[in-house]
Copies of this chain bind each other. A is one copy, B any other.
Amino acid sequence: MKIALIQQQSNLLKEENINKTVELIKKASKNGALLIILQELHQTEYFCQSADTKFFDYADSWKKDLIFWSKIARDNCVVLVTSLFEQRALGLYHNTAVVFENDGSIAGKYRKMHIPDDPGFYEKFYFTEGDLGFEPIQTSVGKLGVLICWDQWYPESARLMSLKGAEILIYPTAIGWFDEDSKEEKNRQLNAWITIQRAHAIANGVPVVSCNRVGFEPDSSGVMDGIRFWGNSFVCDPQGELIAYANHQEESILYANIDSKRTKEVRDIWPFLRDRRIDTYGDLTKRYCD
């Protein structure tokens, strides 16, 4: 199965972002992609760089956004993984991935479960924690374990999706460098990010897809300079082998072929799920064991 990840540079005009994304979806669909993955909060700039109530206005279009992307999925006959700003009620918002079936119906949604809150990533201001759990979404191209960005650092979320039958793990994401960090620190951060996601593939014997933003976005509050999103969107197979990757500076459509037979091959030689010591994992539900 051919898939496509759209790694995009955002700008301040929502409409321009969306128009460009739609053009790239059309192109990817024409090139045979059956599943298209967009980056985290792809409609707009990454507004969580600062905490400002004005940005909640971006979520006012939530219901219209659903109708819009439904039409795009149907028009291009693709399963589409979007990442939207959900206005659940006034004053109650989620960072939500909505997956559309290729007929335009909603296959399912995932509300980001692990919410970061760090300099430049003030997501706890904007988003309440997801309450839909780690539930894979059944589509015509397979059962998709959609997670979002910060989730990628948690082996627990990858494992839970896999235990529930996810056939692919998918991470729309928005992560980048601060220019003031050293080259060595930047490399360590990028390598850690790739490594831990490849490890989710290995631990669970499933392919992993990670679709990241690219390019510099200024901090509109002026407190920090901004974030240089590091691109490097990638796909790895169930053994963790990189089979497609984008660079750190260019917009691109990244294509990959997912071979559904690989999960059986890899899990048969490395049957990790067989030997889990579930009788001894109870403390995983503790904050800390002190």
Contacts and interface: CB of A to CB of B under 8 A. Distances in A.
A276 interface: yes
Nearest to A129: B277
Interface string A197-209: 0111011000000
Interface in A223-277: 239-241, 269-273, 275-277
Interface of A is mostly: helix
Given A195-B199, A196-B203, A156 B276 contact: yes
Contacts of A270: 153
A279 B114 CA distance: 11
B163 A159 contact: no
Contacts of A114: 275-277
A241 B188 contact: yes
A276 to B, nearest CB: 7
B286 A155 contact: no
Contacts of A282: 285
Contact of A195 (B117, B118, B198, B278): B198
- Total copies of this chain within the assembly: 2
Nearest to A288: B163
A232 to B, nearest CB: 15
A12 interface: no
A150 interface: yes
B199 A284 contact: no
A18 B143 CA distance: 52
A189 B241 CA distance: 9
A280 B241 contact: no
Interface string A124-161: 00000100011000000000000000100111110110
A63 to B, nearest CB: 27
Given A241-B188, A290-B165, A153 B281 contact: no
Contact of A286 (B163, B239, B280, B285): B163
Contacts of A153: 202-203, 270, 272
12 contacts: A114-B275, A129-B277, A153-B202, A154-B276, A160-B289, A163-B284, A191-B240, A196-B199, A278-B284, A278-B287, A279-B285, A284-B285
Interface of A: 113-118, 129, 133-134, 150, 153-157, 159-160, 163-165, 188-189, 191-192, 195-196, 198-200, 202-203, 239-241, 269-273, 275-290
